[in-house]
Amino acid sequence: MRHFVLVLLAAGCIGRAFCGEAAPLTPGDKLIRKFLASQAAELEREFLPGVKTKEDFEKLRPQLHDEYMEMLGLSPLPEKTPLGATVTGKLDMPGYVVEKLYFQSRPGLYVTANLYRPAGPGKYPAILYQCGHGDEKRDGNKTHYEDHGIWYATHGYVALLIDSLQLGEIGAIHHGTYRENRWWWHSAGYTPAGVECWNAIRAIDYLVTRPEVDADRIGATGISGGGAATFWISAADPRIKCCAPTSGMSDLQYYVGDDGVNGHCDCMFLYNRARWNWTTIAALICPRPMLFCNSDHDIIFPMPGNDRIINRLEWLYARYGLSDKVDAMVSVGGHAYRSDLRRATYEFFNRNFKNDLRAVTDPDSGRDANGKHIIEHEKLRAFPNELPADQINTKIDQLFVPEAKLELPAADKFDAWRKELLERLRVMTFNAWPASAPAVQSQTLGAAPSEGREETESGLEVGWRWVPGKSLEARWIVVLNPADELSKIPEWAAAIVGDGSALLVNPRGDAHAWTRKSPPNTIERNFALLGATVDSGRIWDILTILRRRPGHWKIAGSGNAGILAAYAALYEPSIESVVAVSPPPSHKPRTEGAEYGPPLLNVLRVLDIPDAFGLLAPRPLTLIGAKDPMFERTAAMYKLLGASEKLDRK
Cα 60 to Cα 47, 48, 56, distances in angstroms: 13, 9, 6
Region 472-494: mean pLDDT is: 93
Place 25 in a pLDDT band, splitting at 50, 70 and 90.
confident
Place 5 in a pLDDT band, splitting at 50, 70 and 90.
very low
Residue 75's contacts (CB-CB under 8 Å, 6 or more residues apart) are 66, 69
> What pLDDT is recorded for position 518?
59
The domain defined by 9-17+43-399 carries CATH number 3.90.25.10:
no
CA dist., res. 79 & res. 57, Å (int): 29
Range with the poorest average pLDDT among 62-71, 410-419, 434-443:
434-443
> What pLDDT is recorded for position 483?
87
CA dist., res. 87 & res. 83, Å (int): 12
For residue 373, what is the DSSP state?
B
Confidence check: pLDDT of 8 > 60: no
Region 28-41: mean pLDDT is: 94
> What pLDDT is recorded for position 23?
65
Residue-level length of the chain: 650
What is the edge-to-edge ordering of all strands in the sheet holding 124-130?
86-93, 96-106, 109-118, 158-162, 124-130, 213-223, 242-246, 290-295, 326-331
Positive or negative torsion for Cα 442, 446, 448, 449: positive
Would you say 154 and 95 are in contact if contact means Cβ atoms under 8 Å apart?
yes
> What pLDDT is recorded for position 510?
81
Residue 101's contacts (CB-CB under 8 Å, 6 or more residues apart) are 85, 86, 87, 88, 112, 113, 114, 115, 382
Share of the chain above pLDDT 70, in %: 96
Cα 191 to Cα 197, 265, 331, 593, distances in angstroms: 10, 10, 30, 20
pLDDT tens digit string along 179-201? 899 999 999 999 999 999 999 99
* Ranges of H-type helices in 132-224: 146-153, 184-188, 192-207
Closest CA to 190 of 172, 200, 176, 171: 176
Is-same-fold flag (9-17+43-399; 411-649)? yes
Region 610-639: mean pLDDT is: 98
Share of the chain above pLDDT 90, in %: 90
Confidence check: pLDDT of 458 > 70: yes
CA dist., res. 327 & res. 512, Å (int): 46
CA dist., res. 258 & res. 255, Å (int): 6
Place 18 in a pLDDT band, splitting at 50, 70 and 90.
very low
> What pLDDT is recorded for position 27?
86
CA dist., res. 363 & res. 2, Å (int): 10
CA dist., res. 274 & res. 211, Å (int): 40
Residue 626 sits at φ, ψ, to 5 deg, of -95, 80
Region 101-110: mean pLDDT is: 98
Region 109-129: mean pLDDT is: 97
Task: Look up the CATH architecture of domain 411-649.
Answer: 3-Layer(aba) Sandwich (3.40)
> What pLDDT is recorded for position 514?
87
Would you say 542 and 585 are in contact if contact means Cβ atoms under 8 Å apart?
no
pLDDT tens digit string along 58-78? 999 999 999 999 999 999 999
Would you say 267 and 225 are in contact if contact means Cβ atoms under 8 Å apart?
yes
Higher pLDDT, 345 or 24: 345
Confidence check: pLDDT of 226 > 60: yes
Q: pTM value? A: 0.95
> What pLDDT is recorded for position 519?
65
Would you say 114 and 384 are in contact if contact means Cβ atoms under 8 Å apart?
no
**What average pLDDT does the structure give for the chain?**
94
The string over 288-306, giving b where at least 16 C-beta atoms fall within 10 Å of a residue's C-beta and e elsewhere, is bbbbbbbbeebebbbeebb
Confidence check: pLDDT of 406 > 60: yes
> What pLDDT is recorded for position 38?
97
Confidence check: pLDDT of 4 > 70: no
CA dist., res. 481 & res. 506, Å (int): 7
CA dist., res. 579 & res. 633, Å (int): 17
Closest CA to 91 of 117, 70, 68, 67: 117
Would you say 622 and 635 are in contact if contact means Cβ atoms under 8 Å apart?
no
Whether omega for the bond prior to residue 121 falls within 30 degrees of 0, making it cis, is no
Confidence check: pLDDT of 20 > 60: no
Region 588-593: mean pLDDT is: 92
Domain boundaries, the chain: 9-17+43-399, 411-649
